[in-house]
Amino acid sequence: MTYEQLLEKAFTQLPELSEEKVDFKIPEVDSLVQGSKTIVKNISQIADVARRDKAEIAKYLTKELAAPITYDDQKLTILAKISQNVLNEKVKRYFELYIICKECHKPDTHVLLTDRGYTTIVCEACGAKYTVKNS
């Protein structure tokens, strides 16, 4: 084996860098269409990662999808046929707007208050405080 080959081998064997620190992963929606309804099966997981109430996420999705939504401990039910791609787009936007800090890009935020169509968000990681206009 030549030196170059050894070098190449060493590089390809380097462990992959941990992604955890680099960027936060927005959870993927696990949904299925059942008749004229759409079931989101992992709403609890999404709410856990977001550290928000399911009610808040349901409210956001109701507006965005213009469809009535119900939820219980396990799942969220949308009374319309919505594709998983569309749901992922909406959830991604929700995280970008309300969860991920605009300053430090960490997901360690909480809602300070919601007033007249605006939501004030505080970041626990860097202390940033900013207001988002609700869609």
Which amino acid is present at 133?
Answer: K
Residues counted in the chain: 135
For residue 122, give both structure tokens.
Answer: 């505080």
The answer to whether the beta carbons of residues 120 and 131 sit under 8 Å apart is: yes
Q: Does 61 bind Zn ion (CB under 5 A)?
A: no
Q: Considering beta carbons, is residue 7 or 125 the nearer one to Zn ion? A: 125
**How many angstroms separate the CA atoms of 68 and 61, rounded?**
9
Q: How far is the CB of 106 from Zn ion (least distance, A)?
A: 5
For residue 38, give both structure tokens.
Answer: 């759409």
Q: Does 6 bind Zn ion (CB under 5 A)?
A: no
Q: How far is the CB of 64 from Zn ion (least distance, A)?
A: 25
Q: Does 104 bind Zn ion (CB under 5 A)?
A: yes
Q: Does 123 bind Zn ion (CB under 5 A)?
A: yes
Q: Does 103 bind Zn ion (CB under 5 A)?
A: yes
